[in-house]
Each structure stands twice: as C-alpha cells, then as structure tokens.
Amino acid sequence: MTLFLVRHPQPDVVPGTCYGRLDVGLVPGALEASLAALDALPRGLACVTSPARRCRELADALLARGDLATVRDDPRLLEMNFGDWEGRHWDEIGADAVDRWARDRIDHVIPGGESARQVLARVAAFVEDTARSGERDLVVIAHAGVIRSLLHLKSGQPVEHWRFDAPPLAYGSITRLDF
C-alpha cells in the first residue's frame, strides 16, 4: 500500500497560537499555492482527508480540478487535540503547564485533550483499517502531527522516539510512504 501524504495549506492562525483541532481557515493564497505544488501528485486516486477545514478545502479543490477520484473524511486524521489550550497563545498557557507536557511528551494528556500515544493509536488504527480494505494507493490529506505519526509507525521505532516537531514538513508538501 502506498500513501501519498499531503500536508494541508498554511492556516490563518496568529503566530504563537496553540492549535491542533481548532478549525481554522487558510491564509489568502495558500490554497492556490498548495494546488500548484501538488501537480506532481498522482491523478485519479481516492483520497482520505482530515475533516478539518484546512484539509477538506484542499481535498475538495483537488477533486474539483479532476486530480482525485473520490474524497472521504476520517476523523482519525485530525491533528492532536490540545483541549483547553486550543486557540490560546503559548505564553498564556504558562510555562509550568507546557513544561509538564514537555517532560512527558508521549503520555501527558493535556486537560480536555489527548496524549501523543493516543494520537499514534488512532493513526495506527487508520493504517490497519486501510490495509485491511485492500486499497493500494491513496492520497491522505492531513496535519503535520498525523504525518509524523505515520512516518514513525512505518519506522518501527519504539513510541518513546516519536517526535511532534520532526521531520520538518512544508505546507502543501507530498511525502510518499510505502507500507
């Protein structure tokens, strides 16, 4: 199975804002820039997308332009849920809370949110279900945290080696992943 992982276009978020599940729009021109960058994407494949607006708008635009055969949402592709931190500036959250999360970046559950281990589990369930379905090649439009989770799962490394901030992933980029 080959997944063509596409990161959504640049969201319209004030710099320094914590967002994951927060459903935000795109900066002006971001959709067009991503569409131009995605000319290298194989045509005629099915697409599974995060239901977040920043992903769904790109999927709908690719479908309208004839690049995709179908599009369906899968909530397991949503970005990490930062719960009570969503939409708040990192400075407003407070250094103590952020430090507690940083000390246990795998299992710490942000109030009202989820842990990295929970993100990895739902992304792994997506991969298992997709592999069982028999789909061979698929476009996946998602978020950096989800794409990094998919790359981590493919690596076979222990969960403790998962990184939320690496590798760098440009908005609208394509990463090919063969399972």
Q: Which domain holds residue 88?
A: 2-178
Contact 153, 140 (CB under 8 A): no
When divided into structural domains, the chain yields a total of 1
pLDDT tens profile 131-153 = 999 988 999 999 999 999 999 99
Q: How far is CA 16 from CA 19, 89, 95, 118, in A?
A: 9, 6, 14, 24
Contact 20, 77 (CB under 8 A): no
Q: Given a cut of 90, is residue 165 above it in pLDDT?
A: no
Mean pLDDT of 73-80: 98
Mean pLDDT of 150-174: 91
Mean pLDDT of 104-130: 96
Looking at residue 89, the DSSP 8-state letter turns out to be B
* CATH number of the domain within which 61 lies: 3.40.50.1240
Sequence-separated contacts (24+) of 63-71 with Cβ below 8 Å: 65/35, 67/38, 67/41, 67/43, 68/43, 68/44, 68/139, 69/44, 69/45, 70/46, 71/46, 71/47
Q: Given a cut of 80, is residue 115 above it in pLDDT?
A: yes
Q: What pLDDT is stored for residue 166 in this prediction?
A: 82
Q: Which residues is 177 bridged to in the sheet?
A: 3
* Cα 56 versus chain centre, distance: 12
The span from the CA of 129 to the CA of 138, in Å, is 13
